[in-house]
Amino acid sequence: MEADFVIVGAGSAGCALAYRLSEAGASVLVIEHGGTDAGPFIQMPAALSYPMNMARYDWGYRSEPEPHLNNRRLVCPRGKVIGGSSSINGMVYVRGHAMDFDHWAESGAEGWAYADVLPYFRRMEHWHDGGHGGDPRWRGTDGPLHVTRGPRANPLFHAFVEAGQQAGYQVTGDYNGEKQEGFGPMEQTVWKGRRWSAANAYLRPALSRPNCDLLRGLATRVVIEDGRATGVEITRAGRPEIVRARREVILAASSINSPKLLMLSGIGPAAHLAGHGIEVLADRPGVGGNLQDHLELYIQMAASQPVTLYKHWNLASKALIGAQWLFTGTGLGASNQFESAAFIRSRAGIAYPDIQYHFLPIAVRYDGKAAAEGHGFQAHVGPMRSKSRGRVSLRSGRAGDAPVIRFNYMSHDSDWDEFRTCIRLTREIFAQPAFAPFAGHEIQPGAELQSDDDLDGFIADHAESAFHPCGTCRMGRADDPEAVVDRAGRVIGIEALRVADSSIFPRITNGNLNAPSIMVGEKISDHVLGRAPLPRANDSPWIHPRWETAQR
């Protein structure tokens, strides 16, 4: 019950930290409330809609009623399992755009510009382009995290990219390389037909070392003595215990649970903590604030040919796919089916993409409900940099109570404008000649919805979270009252305590958050160990030469 480093959370960043700190010879204890990730629901990529909706693997969080989305309570899945959210996510691998990280550095996270983080993306990756024409100069080839591409056998994957080209957009062979902007193949954390989670990539190798252990328990607070974190209080089998940290405590418990733990430990907005009877040890008003997420819509088209995955949407076919995957690790079960993607700009004057597409050759929801109309396909689309901000706060002073999560979605006028643009640009792409052999009528929103008011009503009814919450323990300068951690992840005002997960993002990145979350674990590990950062990269990303005057 004692180690050099105690890490709370066996998720994306926590697993990377455990691997790097134990590799350096330090003793590490990882505290995780969730259980095993064994079993086909997690390990089979095509089964991704199951673990996300299972209480066994998910904390089951929901937002408070969102006033701008007809008071709907949106689900906010977070992994409660070995591997954290990397064990229940869609396995999509996106680093983010270079300018995202440059913005981090400009907003106070010095040392986190793209030139600083690119070497860590390279260090963590074992990239396989699968013959799809990637960008090897920008990629890593011997890291723990396998990154692959799906077979793209379905003709709809190619129709999507071709339609983008016909509409006048760029094509990119590797959105994680020099050029994010454009249409091209999507990457996934899948290896040899299995979900390659942070648990498979980092935690299992770390646990094979004698100096790294995993402890099952619910972290209830950080133990702080004389302004220094000395351990973590956990509940195991209904009883409280103290896990001691000789050197540091590191919270990697997610953008929902890390701020919650800080507040339960007396670190956060003073009045809020006092209102719950918690002694204030560090008044940090930014704890729980700056909450951001990506929202998305599913633009669904009926298919005029039976080429979609709907033909497998029956028990017999699912059983065959499952059996093939179980015995050979191949077939439709071995891919998340997100095999084509795009990043585009919504209008001229925006320097880098602010809209993301995931393309899927079936019309289906994240909760596994297929479109009633049968064969279809869809694009998940949404803006990348909403100005709306929310907050995570305490419901009570008890660790067992879920926090209050208010995203404040669509609270900024520009959100509505951006989403209407997303719908109209997607309709234009689906109207291109490449889709002519495949596209029937529009299932959702439905061609009759055309006016701004019509589309706003659809957005309010149907926008869903893309499950990318972040920003609630924002990294910044020590004299910034809203910053929670400094550029090394150290909690401002408390010694020997760090946060290392997506909660430290100053601003949300372009695309899915698993890759930058793992990168945070990799980079913070060097800070913890007192090592010089990896040498800065001098690669220059592609920016559209006419971005000031052209949308595409």
Q: What is the pLDDT of residue 202?
A: 98
Q: What is the pLDDT of residue 52?
A: 87
Q: Which of 146, 358, 468, 544 is catalytic?
A: 468
Residue 91 assigned to a binding site = yes
Q: What is the pLDDT of residue 364?
A: 85
Q: Tell me whether residue 226 is exposed, middle or buried, using C-beta atoms within 10 angstroms of its C-beta: 0 to 12, 13 to 18, 19 or more.
A: exposed
Phi-psi domain of 33 (left: phi exceeds 0; alpha: psi -120 through 50; beta: other): alpha
Residue 89 assigned to a binding site = yes
Q: Which CATH architecture has domain 2-38+198-291+470-528?
A: 3-Layer(bba) Sandwich (3.50)
Tell me the C-alpha distance between 443 and 283, whole Å: 51
Tokens (6 digits) for 16: 């990377």
468 is catalytic: yes
H helices within 393-433, ranges in order? 413-430
8 Å CB contact between 552 and 345: yes
CATH topology for 101-187+292-465 is Glucose Oxidase; domain 3 (3.30.560)
Q: What is the pLDDT of residue 366?
A: 64
Q: What is the pLDDT of residue 78?
A: 97
3 state SS of 296 = strand
Q: What is the pLDDT of residue 368?
A: 67
Instruction: Compute CA distances 319 → 128, 151, 328, 338, whole Å.
Output: 29, 21, 14, 21
Tell me the C-alpha distance between 175 and 161, whole Å: 13
Q: What is the pLDDT of residue 365?
A: 75
List the Cα angle 93/490/524 in 5-degree steps.
35
Residue 92 assigned to a binding site = yes
Distance of alpha carbon 309 from its chain centroid, rounded? 25
Tokens (6 digits) for 275: 């209102």
Count the residues in the chain. 552
- Give residue limits of the domains in the chain: 2-38+198-291+470-528, 101-187+292-465
Task: Render pLDDT for 421-430 as a digit per residue (tens, 0 to 9).
Answer: 999 999 999 9
Q: What is the pLDDT of residue 373?
A: 80
Tokens (6 digits) for 436: 């002519």
Residues 6+ apart with CB under 8 A from 429: 160, 163, 164, 167, 379, 435
- pLDDT values of the chain reduced to their tens digit, one per residue, 552 residues: 999 999 999 999 999 999 999 999 999 999 999 999 998 899 999 999 889 889 999 999 999 999 999 999 999 999 999 999 999 999 999 999 999 999 999 999 999 999 999 999 999 999 998 666 788 999 999 999 999 999 999 999 999 999 999 999 999 999 999 999 999 999 999 999 999 999 999 999 999 999 999 999 999 999 999 999 999 999 999 999 999 999 999 999 999 999 999 999 999 999 999 999 999 999 999 999 999 999 999 999 999 999 999 999 889 999 999 999 999 999 999 999 999 999 999 999 999 999 999 999 999 876 667 676 889 999 999 999 999 999 999 999 999 999 999 999 999 999 999 999 999 999 999 999 999 999 999 999 999 999 999 999 999 999 999 999 999 999 999 999 999 999 999 999 999 999 999 999 999 999 999 999 999 999 999 999 999 999 999 999 999 999 999 999
Tell me the C-alpha distance between 356 and 341, whole Å: 8
